[in-house]
């Protein structure tokens, strides 16, 4: 057994998260007490996050880029370029994907709650967000913010993507 340690050296974890054997784990505080769990095997433990106990998020999904082929039901990590908003996801499985569930319209300053997911916090002109995407069926991709606070459903489209300033 090995105790998980707080480490953000890889740049892929947020404050309060750490990596152990390729597993991203999260620490939660309650009543000023940090509960620590021991990692057995591949961080395979189950606890109650509301009770302030260390919880495993699970193995980090594979990172994909635009024009990738996605497998149905598989979660992927996606660097989503949002300079023009979140209406157009990109091209996956040979199709262009679009949503009406806008997380950000691309107008004005990027909302503060999205800034915590910037790939590069210094890039505010053409920011990219860390997101998770899942091909839930042949005609639906679900995008989630890392904290689960917002989701958007994308569908294939034949519409022409408009230009963006």
**According to the model, what pLDDT value does residue 38 have?**
28
User: Looking at the structure, do residues 148 and 67 belong to the same domain, yes or no?
Assistant: yes
Residue 75 to residue 14: CA distance in whole angstroms: 19
> Whose structure tokens read 């024009």?
67
User: Looking at the structure, do residues 76 and 140 belong to the same domain, yes or no?
Assistant: yes
User: Looking at the structure, do residues 29 and 76 belong to the same domain, yes or no?
Assistant: no
Tokens of 98: 């679009």
User: Looking at the structure, do residues 49 and 107 belong to the same domain, yes or no?
Assistant: no
Question: For the chain, which ranges sit under pLDDT 70?
Answer: 1-57, 165
Residue 164, domain member (yes or no): no
User: Looking at the structure, do residues 67 and 49 belong to the same domain, yes or no?
Assistant: no
User: Looking at the structure, do residues 25 and 95 belong to the same domain, yes or no?
Assistant: no
**According to the model, what pLDDT value does residue 163 have?**
86
User: Looking at the structure, do residues 94 and 121 belong to the same domain, yes or no?
Assistant: yes
User: Looking at the structure, do residues 80 and 153 belong to the same domain, yes or no?
Assistant: yes
**Which pTM value belongs to this model?**
0.66
**According to the model, what pLDDT value does residue 57 have?**
59
Q: Quote the domain boundaries for residue 121.
A: 62-157
């Amino acid at each position: 057994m090995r105790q998980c340690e707080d480490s953000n050296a890889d740049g892929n974890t947020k404050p309060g998260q750490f990596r152990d054997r390729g597993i991203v784990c999260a620490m939660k505080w309650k009543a000023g007490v940090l509960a620590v769990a021991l990692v057995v095997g591949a961080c395979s433990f189950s606890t109650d996050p509301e009770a302030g106990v260390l919880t495993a998020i699970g193995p980090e999904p594979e990172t994909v880029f635009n024009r990738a082929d996605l497998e149905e039901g598989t979660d992927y990590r996606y660097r989503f370029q949002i300079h023009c908003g979140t209406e157009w996801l990109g091209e996956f499985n040979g199709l262009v994907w679009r949503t009406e569930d806008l997380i950000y319209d691309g107008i004005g300053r990027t909302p503060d709650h999205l800034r915590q997911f910037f790939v590069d916090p210094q890039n505010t002109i053409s920011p990219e967000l860390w997101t998770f995407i899942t091909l839930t069926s042949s005609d639906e991709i679900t995008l989630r913010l890392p904290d689960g606070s917002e989701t958007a459903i994308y569908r294939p489209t034949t519409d022409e993507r408009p230009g963006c300033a």
